[in-house]
Amino acid sequence: MAASCGSLIGIQTQGPESFNSVEKPHINRFLYNDRDFVRCVRWLDSGDKCHIQALSKFDTTLRFGWKEKMDQGLFRYYLGDLPTWILPGPHQYVAQLNILRGKERRKPQEILSIRQGFDAKQFNFNKIHPSEIIFEMRKENAVDAIVGKPSAQPQQCPVAAEAHGRALVVINVSPLEMGHCLIVPEPSSGLPQVLSAAALRTGIESVFLSALPAFRVGFNSLGAFASVNHLHLHGYYLNHKLRIESARTEPLVPQKGFHLLPDFPTGFLFYTEGRDLQTIVHSICRLTDSLVERNIAHNLFLTRGCPPGDCPAPGPTWPGVRVVVWPRISCFGAKEEAAFNVALCELAGHLPFKNTEDFETITEDDVKRIIQKYLLPEKEFLKLQLEFIKMLKEF
């Protein structure tokens, strides 16, 4: 089966009304190419803090535009410095208190299936006010060159048809952290929240465009606390290191960039230094497509990190990006933890809390207990691991 990263049988799309605002000339356009990638970044030595270094063109455009929107009062609340502390223990969880996000964020849509189709009548990013758009990003002269094997199932779209086109970068009106934005590929296409090759590649390239290791990108599938069924990724700056960036890995199919992240919470890890993105995107797409076919929810987290293996400490400059994929138990309906929901941030080690009591009293063991409830049983994870090794070796 060709890896289409989202073009699967049973996923129906319903085209929305035309997103006319993307044609208006006042929208800022951010054009980039491979020469804009920052090949090495590093955390400056001062505890775990990231001191602002020389900003890239991407950082300047995103941070200035985001701050401007905040000053204009376009968010649901003003985001100042959040109370933050590092939980004692080897995992070094970054705990933050963000009460207003818990109170003011938009009510999540009702999600019943990981393959749920796009519904233009529900809230989607074609309905936002144009003032919420920070910029439109597009890679110059870019067409995704990923080529898959011919599909045996004609209802599927071949990977080669995945255009690496434009994406809107819009504010998340209920921000988690500084610069919290949503990357929305081709919004007028009405794509459901199923990862596409173009979206994944834009996400990886966004991390390479930043000069700051503090910039991260993530994806929640349906059933993994995605709150809007319209294809999007999250991007934001977190001014603290995360353990997954330097945690040791074990090789699974290293020639395809596929590794195991054995430490809790166990996940699959891909690594790239950006020189052959089509291979890594193809590998990740095959895995996430397979998860959707199996109706398994999943979260992805994209961050700068050290190469696979045992990372030296303290870490040197980081030339590459780690992409971690966590298959997990699906969560449908209005189920919510009192302390925090388990989505892309929490699995990566960033814990936004909704209330002061949990924020001040929680321990590392408490966090692991909450997260464990959403992880696949060990036997099921190991079965997936063996199947994915076989799958990636065969293409």
- Which residues are CB-contacts of 121 (< 8 A; sequence separation ≥ 6)? none
Helices (H), the chain: 57-71, 99-104, 197-209, 277-293, 344-348, 356-361, 364-372, 378-394
- Which residues are CB-contacts of 95 (< 8 A; sequence separation ≥ 6)? 84, 85, 86, 87, 351, 353, 359, 362
350 beta partners: 94
**In one letter, which amino acid is 164?**
H
The residue to which tokens 């951010």 are assigned: 30
Catalytic residue status for 232 = yes
Sheet containing 233-237: give its strands across.
29-32, 133-139, 167-171, 181-185, 233-237, 215-220, 297-305, 320-328, 267-272, 258-261, 250-253
Q: Which residue among the candidates 164, 180, 232, 282 is catalytic per the annotation?
A: 232
- Which residues are CB-contacts of 324 (< 8 A; sequence separation ≥ 6)? 244, 261, 267, 268, 269, 270, 300, 301, 302, 303, 347, 348
CB 304 within 8 A of CB 290: no
Closest CA to 244 of 216, 225, 223: 216
**In Å, how far from its chain's centre is CA 200?**
8
Give the Cα separation of 290 and 300 in Å (integer).
14
Active-site positions? 232
